[in-house]
Amino acid sequence: PGRWTTENGKTCLREAFIPFSTGTRVCTGAGFAMVEGPLLLAMLVRKWRFAAVPERVPVPVAYLTVRAKDGIWLEVRRR
């Protein structure tokens, strides 16, 4: 995380990391999404344990964004 506190890191955070786009058509829900995402994740991992399926290692594929070629396979167990 320390890399985001350097001068270069701060510039990258503003100019290179743009999941919500930038400029006049920037995502108006960005602030909400940054609260909603971690909240949902916290609620899920509180009740469930997620583990990677060893035979199904995700293969990253880059289009506009990076995704897993055949999805991300997880074993889900109740805590």
Rg of the chain in Å (alpha carbons): 17
Residue 39 interacts with ligand HEM (CB under 6 A)? no
**Residue 17 or 32 with smaller CB distance to ligand HEM:** 32
CA geometry: angle 71, 65, 43, nearest 5 deg: 60
Contact status: 21 vs ligand HEM (CB under 6 A): yes
Tokens of 56: 């199904």
Least distance (Å) from ligand HEM to the CB of residue 41?
Answer: 12
Q: What are the structure tokens assigned to 22, written together?
A: 């930038």
3-state secondary structure of 64: coil
Quote the least distance from Cβ 55 to ligand HEM, whole Å: 29
Which residues in this chain contact ligand HEM in the complex, by CB under 6 A? 19-21, 25, 27-29, 32-33, 37
